[in-house]
Amino acid sequence: MSGDIRIPSVGESVSSGLISQWHKNDGESVNVGELLLTLDTDKISTEITADCAGNLQILAVEGEEVSIGSVVGRITSENLSHLQSSDQKEATSDQLQGDNNDENHKEKNSVSSIEKQAPQENQRQTPVEIEAIEAHQVPAQNTKRDLRLDRKAPVSPVVNRLAKENGVDLSLIIGSGKRGAILKKDVQSFIDSGGELRSSKVVENPNTQSITSKDSEASVLPDLNVKPVSHHGSSGLKIEEGGRITRQPLSPIRRKIADHLVSAQRDAALLTTFNECDMSSVMRLRKELQEDFIAKYGVKIGFMSIFIKAVVDALKEVEQINARIDGTDLIRNHFFDIGVAVGSEKGLVVPVIRDCDNKSFAQIEKDISEYASRANQGKLEIADLQGGVFTISNGGIYGSMLSTPIINPPQSAILGMHNIIERPVAVEGKVVIRPMMYLALSYDHRIVDGKEAVTFLRRVKECVENPARLLVGA
């Protein structure tokens, strides 16, 4: 029995993905529901689990790009009853055959066998011959096998591929799997050691004495003719130029980000306008309400929910920002789904907070917290990233002072938040120290004029500097 591991469909626009990690080794047993591999696409990461129990056979290595629907592995379960039935049939056949032979024939075979094993009295035995005779007298089940020469042990396609890519002779490797099967980790260990034979098993070679090799100090077979390669794992990471540089393929997510940003700058007429925002009122409000807010809703009130509400207010005032170009048509949106740029280990993702005009500050903060957690775990879904009308990017959490963000097509604008810095500003003719933040609005000048962009950004500034108007909806 066997079950194919196929790459599932994760979205209409996704045709392939990259195997970022196998969580099980080749030949390892798995149970139903156990995590097998993580697939990275140009939008999200997907975890694939086992549909049946058995032994895992890996057909596609880590770092390999695979198409949707392709078979990347197989789970096989050994039919023990079938093997037992075969053994029983063979035993029965041998027994019937033995019954048909007469006792004289058996005795003759027995004597002949003893004569072959016993040395002639007038023949002098060498130590090697004596050792060979003693080995024949040991029961077969106690005889040590040369695992390197045991070709009954299966070799998976992924092991063959890895060995071929690195010019490794599999006959030089001791397998650590069942029945001496050579696993991917055995080949990789052989590669990383530059051709050293590492194993905790005892190996017997017909032409040499037994060798016990441990991980602490490996025995090296002579004349391997295998050159050490600078290849670490099957993820594509390579060390080149004597360790001066490393080379690794871009992940699908990073390639998509690159294509997306280049497309935005190529197809849109980008322009950025700036303003600065006094954060005194917002910081004072958060300080006064934080404890009660946490006690009531279980989350902190952050800057992002306030800025999202300010953006919604500004989008209602400047409707041209809440629009996009579709071919030769202008599409006006009448909903307020705001994307929030989140930096994760695998790249920048923009989950979308739905219907922000109808949600409270607490609901928005909970959505942001959940998306951030799922992004770090690689559990965002395609639907979480689709349909936004505007994006907010907070580079200030990384210490950014000022930047010109790039819009997220097909949206027409993006707001960049930055670091809060205390600096001197003029207020009513006096120089005071205030916590200030620079705001940057990048927009598509094809449909948004400068007047509209400046008006929009000024409205956001006014809402943040006077957050009470957001609470009362003024």
Provide the token pair at 387. 């349909």
* Nearest in space to 184 (alpha carbons), one of 239, 234, 150: 234
Q: Do 415 and 307 touch, CB atoms closer than 8 A?
A: yes
Q: How far apart are CA 312 and CA 319, in angstroms?
A: 10
CA distance 239 to 228: 12
Q: Which residue has the tokens 């002949």?
A: 112
C-alpha–C-alpha distance, residues 306 and 282, integer Å? 8
Tokens of 452: 């509209």
Contact indicator for 18, 42 with CB cutoff of 8 Å: no
Q: For residues 466 and 280, what is the distance between their CA atoms, to the nearest angstrom?
A: 9
Whether 231 is catalytic: no
Where are the alpha helices (H) located in 357-446, listed in sequence order?
361-377
List 4, 169, 292, 449, catalytic entry: 449
448, burial (CB in 10 Å: exposed 0-12, middle 13-18, buried 19+): buried
Where are the alpha helices (H) located in 118-228, listed in sequence order?
127-137, 157-165, 184-192
DSSP codes, 218-233: -B--TT-------B-S
Rounded to 5 degrees, what angle do the CA atoms 49, 54, 57 make? 75
* Annotation marks residue 445 as catalytic: yes
Assign 325 to helix, strand or coil. strand
| Token pair in block for residue 123 | 């023949």
274 contacts 439 by C-beta, under 8 angstroms:
yes
Cα–Cα distance, 149 to 167 (Å, whole number): 19
18 and 234 in contact (C-beta within 8 Å)? no
Q: Please list the residues that pair with 276 across neighbouring strands.
A: 438
Report the distance separating Cα 32 and Cα 272, nearest Å.
Answer: 53
Residue 350 class from Cβ within 10 Å (0-12 exposed, 13-18 middle, 19+ buried)?
Answer: buried
List the beta bridge partners of residue 2: 76
d(CA 105, CA 192): 57
Active site residues: 445, 449
